[in-house]
Amino acid sequence: MSDAPGPAGDDASGADDGASVPAIRRVAGTGVPLRGDDIDTDQILPARFLKAVTFDDMGTYAFYDRRRDEDGGRNDHPFNEYRGANVLAVNDNFGCGSSREHAPQGLMRWGVEAIVGESFAEIFRDNCKSLGIATLSVAPEEAEALQSFIEANPDAGIEVDVREETVRYGGTTVEGEVPDAMREALLAGIWDTTAVMRSNLDRAKAVRDALPYTDD
């Protein structure tokens, strides 16, 4: 295989690797409330829809089973009722379960650009970072208050500020936490790490050579 260094050049921001990586400072729009702890990736994107070699259709499959009645008709699931929203409001341990990037891909392609909730499963949150979806952790009662606000005011504006680590709605500002790595990555537009890591390929090789097991 090629030993040539990647095409990253000297721009460590990773902006020239062929992927568009805009900085994301804030996400403004309307909300979609989704209540419940431990919502797993099997619910977000059922396994039978993983049988595809691209992510193109994943938006259609987000919460597919939850959005339908037994006869296949659409029910009153928030993903049916709040179309056009881009800020998802969840509770505790959202996105637990499998590592499938199909789950955040599905949410993103449905329209989600930021998620506010009590906490997130780690692989899910890493995947969000890779895709440039902001996640903001807030206190449990704040997550519930936001959900109630959206339910009462479905068209009201909501703004997630990545730099300030806040969510603003209806005259309220709630402080939360965007993980440092995600915050840096989103603000600087470096959430796509391939190019910057590729520019360190020689160092990666040096690490490999120093490891005792890599000559097998």
Residue 151 engages another protein in binding (rule: CB under 8 A)? no
31, 101, 109, 111: residue in contact with another protein (rule CB under 8 A): 101
Sheet with 114-117, edge to edge strand ranges:
31-33, 87-89, 114-117, 134-137
For the chain, the first-to-last Cα distance in angstroms comes to 17
The H or E element spanning position 206 is: helix 201-210
> By 3-state DSSP, what share of the chain in percent is helix, strand and coil, each rounded to 5?
35, 15, 50
The distance of Cα 12 from the centroid of its chain, to the nearest Å, equals 23
Whose Cβ is closer to another protein: residue 122's or residue 175's? 122
Q: In whole angstroms, how close is the CB of 155 to another protein at the nearest point?
A: 28
CA distance 165 to 176: 6
Q: In whole angstroms, how close is the CB of 183 to another protein at the nearest point?
A: 9
Whose Cβ is closer to another protein: residue 84's or residue 140's? 140
Residue 144 engages another protein in binding (rule: CB under 8 A)? no
Joined tokens for residue 36:
């419940």
CA distance 31 to 211: 49
CA distance 119 to 117: 6
Residue 76 engages another protein in binding (rule: CB under 8 A)? no
| Subset of 36-65 contacting another protein (CB under 8 A) | 36-38, 40, 42-43, 46-48, 50-55, 65
CA distance 214 to 62: 41
Q: Which stretch binds another protein (CB under 8 A): 77-85, 152-160, 169-177, 195-203?
A: 195-203
Q: In whole angstroms, how close is the CB of 84 to another protein at the nearest point?
A: 26
Q: Which residues bind another protein (CB under 8 A)?
A: 1-2, 6-7, 12-13, 17-19, 36-38, 40, 42-43, 46-48, 50-55, 65, 92-93, 96-102, 104-105, 119, 121-123, 126-127, 130-131, 180-182, 184-185, 188, 190-194, 196-198, 200-201, 203-204, 207-208, 210-214, 216
